[in-house]
Structure 1
């Protein structure tokens, strides 16, 4: 195999990988997964708010 054949094969593999990932991402069955993943940055806010409110409840019970 010469260098041009290796380049052609690698280009073909990258193209096939790109197409398969694109199909995987845009399938309708994966929509709920990506919607849940899109909300993950906001999950920390809910957890920290809950911890703060729990800490306030503990402080009020200790007084």
Structure 2
């Protein structure tokens, strides 16, 4: 058990900023885009990052 806790501690970070740009979270940007599209009565822009498979948006 002690080894497991040491491994977890060595692989974790206190804040996402501690990763030094290795991780980018686009969730808030995407959510804002969805909200903006809904207020304008249009469909949100499709995902274009090439990493995520597009799925239909339920309205």
TM-score normalised by the chain length of structure 2: 0.39
Q: More relative contact order in 1 or in 2 (CA 8 Å, sep 6+)? A: 2
State which structure, 1 or 2, has the greater radius of gyration over its C-alpha atoms: 1
TM-score normalised by the chain length of structure 1: 0.38
